[in-house]
Structure 1
Amino acid sequence: MENQRKDRRIKWLILLIPTLTIGLWEYVRHAFLLPYISMDLGNLLAPFIVLAVTLTLVRGLFARLEQSQRALQAEKEVKASLEERESLARELHDGISQSMFLLAVKLDQLEELDKEGPVWELANGLRETVRVMHEDVRQAIANLREPASPAKAAWVVPLRGLLGETAELTGARAEFVWTIPDDSLTDKEKIELHACVREALMNVRKHANASRVYVVGACDGQGGFRCSVEDDGVGFEGNPLQVQGRFGLRMVRDRAKAMGWSFLAERRGSRTVVELVKAGKKANV
């Protein structure tokens, strides 16, 4: 609201300054300069005076207005992203989470009907699978509803925390190397990059069986960056984006595509690498 009031004041100033300038010039000319400057010369000087004022005062106001509009647009993008996260969290809670809870109840009833034999063993195995999936959904809902503060310089701290949690749960050694300047990313880029790293680390937790895990973020010096999650685990079998029942890397790919980043998931020597790259401006020339 405050930004909107500032924008209105700037717009009024842009409109009024040329008018006030020409009015002030005419007053000074007639009141003080008429004996020294003829009418024709005064009329000739008027547009140049307005131009000089425009290039100084009005040009600065235009720059401030453009800066304010960019800040407002960035704020709208962050708000839209957070609303999308909240909407997705509600859908997960009201749909998948509750359905899985009902499925667990049905499996309990099935176990009561046959407490021994193959049916009981199958139901018991399915219930354990449902429990794990239910925990994953609950964790996803919690992550979506975490209050994001992308404007703070310490936004990278949660990324290091995610890596630490992964190392603690898997027993792997963790290494965090981050050199991307905070001011080189927009608020939306920070939110999306955080979500991509989280999904990649969840994939490491579930499937990699790694002894070392790395999160690397580096700038290219041209306004772009490279961010990767790497591990020395078992690697991929075939195309990881086509494995049935695994959606984490597909979500990372889709988020990257929506942001205009390149996505790569491959084996490099002894490491499995999930990489996101934003091309710098000079690189596109």
Structure 2
Amino acid sequence: MPRRSADRRIKWMILLTPTLTIGLWEYVRHVFLLPYMSMEMGNFLAPFIVLGVTLTLVRGLFARLEQSQAELQRERAVSGALEEREKLARELHDGIAQSLFLLAVKLDKLDRTAAEGERKVLEMSGELKETVRVMHDDVRQAIENLRQPPTAAEAAWVVPLRELLEETAGVTEAEAEFRWTIKDEALSNKEKVELHACLREALINVRKHANASKVIVTGEPEENGGFRCTVEDDGVGFSGDPLAVYGRFGLRMVRDRATRMGWTFAAERRADRTVVEIAKPGGRRS
């Protein structure tokens, strides 16, 4: 409701600004400027004054209205996604979970009715009950996960990064770890595109050259709107300046992208790991 009220005020200001501008201009012209300006000159200047106000004040109002509408659309999308997750959770609970519970009850009844000499029946019943219990626990966990809001690592633009990390780990037979806590709304669309491209190139570089047994991707928020992202691996590393190696363009592309965005870039050996780090200083939004 507060957002709708603010949007309504902006729309009224957009509608009234040209009228108020003309009214104010006519008042000033007749009260203060009439001895110095002819009617023809005043009429000639009026549309230019309205145009000037439109290009400044009204244009700014339109920008605020568009931003508010975009934020409203994002909120609706998130709300719709949460509603779908809740609906799916209800369907799992009302269907599969209850069916599994009923099956477990029937297996317990089978145990009670089986004769003590029917050992194989009892053994099979026990195995089935264990399987049902595991499935039931998995479904309950899935329901619980669906009812929780999506985490920062589940943002739509972050998912391909996690998938690329898992793919890289699969190709190199390495262990993968994904630690992502940067909230989706903390980054502009441009920042998401550029950061995704930087981390993707760093991961491809690991796949091609590192021969690593462990790869870690980290995204952490910093104070005042900044962030720090790293791609770490325990592979063969590099000697000297990795940006000066002939025929290697990947890290140089990452550095150039980060520099254009006003971010910091580092590629270095730390202890037994190679670390590519991209960081945005706090206090500014690209």
Interval of TM-score (by shorter of Structure 1 and Structure 2):
0.5 to 0.7
**How does 1:67-78 map onto structure 2 within 5 Å?**
67-78=67-78
Counterpart secondary structure, 2:80: helix
**Which structure is larger by alpha-carbon Rg, 1 or 2?**
2
**How does 1:56-95 map onto structure 2 within 5 Å?**
56-95=56-95
The superposition leaves residues 112-146 of structure 1 with CA deviations (integer Å, 9 ceiling, x where unpaired) of 33353332222221111111000000111111122
Pair 74,26 (structure 1): closer, same or farther in 2 beyond 3 Å: same
CA distance in 2, matches of 1:96, 1:214: 37
Contact 1:10 1:65 in 2 (8 A): yes
Gaps of 5+ in 1: 151-155, 157-172, 190-211, 219-227, 229-285
Pair 177,78 (structure 1): closer, same or farther in 2 beyond 3 Å: closer
Residue 37 of structure 1 and its aligned partner are, at CA, apart by: 1.6
Aligned to 2:3: 3
CA distance in 1, matches of 2:2, 2:38: 47
Contact 1:14 1:61 in 2 (8 A): yes
Contact 1:89 1:141 in 2 (8 A): yes
Aligned to 1:26: 26
**TM-score after normalising by structure 1:** 0.54
Gaps of 5+ in 2: 153-157, 159-174, 193-212, 220-230, 232-286
Counterpart secondary structure, 1:216: strand
Aligned to 1:123: 125
CA distance in 2, matches of 1:99, 1:215: 40
Aligned to 1:12: 12
Aligned to 1:39: 39
Residue 147 of structure 1 and its aligned partner are, at CA, apart by: 4.6
Counterpart secondary structure, 1:37: coil
Aligned to 1:102: 102
Pair 85,5 (structure 1): closer, same or farther in 2 beyond 3 Å: same
Contact 1:180 1:217 in 2 (8 A): no
Superposition CA RMSD, Å: 3.3
Residue 181 of structure 1 and its aligned partner are, at CA, apart by: 7.4
Percent sequence identity is 66
Aligned to 1:260: none
Which moves more between the two structures, 29-38 or 174-183? 174-183
Residue 184 of structure 1 and its aligned partner are, at CA, apart by: 3.0
Pair 3,33 (structure 1): closer, same or farther in 2 beyond 3 Å: same
CA distance in 2, matches of 1:78, 1:96: 26
The aligned amino acid for 1:216 is V
